[in-house]
Homo-oligomer: A and B are copies of this chain.
Amino acid sequence: MTTNPLPAEALFTDLYELTMAQAYQAEGMDQLAVFELAFREMPRNRNYAVAAGFQDVLDFLTGFHFSAGEIHYLRLNGEFSEVFLNALERLRFTGDVNAVPEGTLVFPNEPLLQVIAPIAEAQLIETFVLNQIHFQSIAATKAARVVAAAHGRMIVDFGSRRSHGIDAALKVSRATYLAGGAGTSNALAGKIYGIPVFGTMAHSYIQAHDDESASFDSFARLYPETTLLVDTYDTLTGVRKVIELSQKLGERFQVRAVRLDSGDLGSLAVDTRKMLDEAGLQRVKIFASSGLDEYKIQELMNSGAPIDVFGVGTKLAVIADAPELDMAYKLVEYGGKGRLKLSTKKLLYPGRKQVFRQIDNGRMAGDVIGRFDEPLAGEPLLKTLLLRGQPTTRIELAESRRHLQRELKSLPDHLHGLQSASTPYPVSFREQLKTDLNTIRRKLGFDDSRGGR
């Protein structure tokens, strides 16, 4: 296992973070800020989200610095003073970060991550932190649904070619494994994350041979326990050729599976199973791919389709039904004082918070969002990840995977479906936060009753 090859460059930031940082310096504003990362609404069909991506944030923050080339680029921009650029060159991330454990189930308005740092530092890291936690969380959430729909049958990520870029492909591979999937087809992801890599064969291999049977024969001799792709010309004809190969090879035939990659997967799987069984090939499994997602897999499972392994591509890779989460990184405290924002529909409670999860009989019974130092019952979800710029832990994918499985076991039954439940998971704000909100609102000159005026 190696580290993520993607460069975490400090310049991966929105320009305004830099102009604001310069303004903070010019104004002598260098006190501690608290920023919290949360999403506001659950996307369509979701009952939970899976928090993910914190190791990349750790790596980014511990290596945080602007290179000479980046400083040079900013100098050419013309908006930045030498005083600021000199400070930027020396800048490192010196703050604290708290986050929920990776794999934790999270809900609207709950802080997943909290940054406590001199305001310029906390501001400059926004774009990267949000980019990674947002994407890795929506990917893990999608993958968890796909895995759930398969009820224990294997899920393999096949989507690298359609992911939105290289980084997304690697992160979807990781998210699939995090969510309980078996692995990925992406070899680089296998190397980076130490996760299982799967491969079958492509249509092009068969096409390159003048004869489909000959291509099966060659591949199976080289890789006795392989999976043969049967739909290049006609699926059931392909299955028949696999059966003929088994008769030809006898004991030496050890092919593990056939793969269906087009057509009506449900009915083709039934016919394929029947043909294989009649030929005494009960041990040969059926691998299906093409247009799969959690909805399609649920449909196939409900119809009793005899599919053993699902290769899930595009719809998982692009998180097709919920490609975004309304996630934001918001200032809630500066210089020890709570801060708020009243923009329409974007109400924000001020002050540093903690999420207290109530467990009843081993099941999640509701979350309470309070001040971080309130002595409330329940498990506090936000835990230290980075202290004064130094990591206090390393996130292990295998542990995150186990944690998510435990979380899903303790999730109430009615929240496991692929559609929105009529009763969402209960999350409440402590009365004290509302009082704090109104106090600050009054100070700013806005009354208590409306979002603005």
List 26 A–B pairs whose Cβ atoms lie within 8 Å, in order of A's numbering.
Answer: A5-B9, A11-B191, A12-B187, A14-B187, A16-B201, A19-B226, A20-B202, A27-B218, A73-B190, A119-B208, A127-B161, A131-B165, A131-B169, A135-B165, A162-B324, A165-B170, A203-B341, A207-B334, A207-B340, A208-B339, A234-B446, A234-B452, A235-B452, A237-B453, A320-B323, A323-B323
Q: Mark A160-193, 1 if CB is under 8 A from B, else 0.
A: 1111111111110000000000000111101100
Contact of A91 with B by CB under 8 A:
no
Given contacts A19-B199, A131-B166, A318 and B314 within 8 Å (CB-CB): no
Inter-chain contacts of A70 with B (CB < 8 A): 191
Contact of A330 with B by CB under 8 A:
yes
- Residue of B16, B22, B185, B233 near A342 (CB, 8 A) is B233
Give the number of residues in A that approach B within 8 Å (Cβ atoms).
113
Given contacts A161-B126, A263-B343, A324-B318, A197 and B6 within 8 Å (CB-CB): no
Contact call A343/B261, Cβ cutoff below 8 A: yes
Given contacts A131-B169, A162-B134, A164-B135, A222 and B26 within 8 Å (CB-CB): yes
Contact call A164/B161, Cβ cutoff below 8 A: no
A344 to B232, CA, bound (A): 9
Given contacts A166-B6, A204-B123, A15 and B160 within 8 Å (CB-CB): no
Given contacts A134-B161, A199-B19, A233-B446, A6 and B6 within 8 Å (CB-CB): yes
Kindly identify, within residues 1 to 34 of chain A, every residue whose CB is under 8 Å from any CB belonging to chain B. Answer: 2, 5-9, 11-20, 22-24, 26-27, 29, 33
Inter-chain contacts of A127 with B (CB < 8 A): 160-161, 186
Inter-chain contacts of A164 with B (CB < 8 A): 135, 163-165, 167-168, 171, 318-319, 323
- The winner among A131, A263, A320, A453 for most chain B CB atoms within 10 A is A131
Given contacts A318-B324, A330-B203, A262 and B14 within 8 Å (CB-CB): no
- The winner among A13, A20, A128, A329 for most chain B CB atoms within 10 A is A20
A162 to B323, CA, bound (A): 9
Inter-chain contacts of A231 with B (CB < 8 A): 343-344
Contact of A130 with B by CB under 8 A:
yes
Q: How far is the CB of A49 from chain B (nearest CB, A)?
A: 15
A: residues with CB less than 8 A from B are 2, 5-9, 11-20, 22-24, 26-27, 29, 33, 35, 69-70, 73-74, 77, 79, 119, 123, 126-128, 130-132, 134-135, 158, 160-171, 185-188, 190-191, 197-205, 207-208, 210, 212, 218-219, 222-223, 226, 231-235, 237, 261-263, 314-315, 317-320, 323-324, 327, 329-331, 334-335, 337, 339-346, 444, 446, 452-453
Inter-chain contacts of A169 with B (CB < 8 A): 12, 131
Given contacts A161-B131, A165-B131, A166-B131, A16 and B185 within 8 Å (CB-CB): yes
Inter-chain contacts of A344 with B (CB < 8 A): 231, 262-263
A344 to B268, CA, bound (A): 12
Inter-chain contacts of A166 with B (CB < 8 A): 6, 8, 12, 128, 131-132, 165, 167
Given contacts A11-B191, A314-B324, A343-B232, A33 and B161 within 8 Å (CB-CB): no
Q: How far is the CB of A203 from chain B (nearest CB, A)?
A: 5
Nearest B residue to A346, CB-CB: B262
A313 to B167, CA, bound (A): 19
Inter-chain contacts of A13 with B (CB < 8 A): 186-188
Contact call B14/A185, Cβ cutoff below 8 A: yes
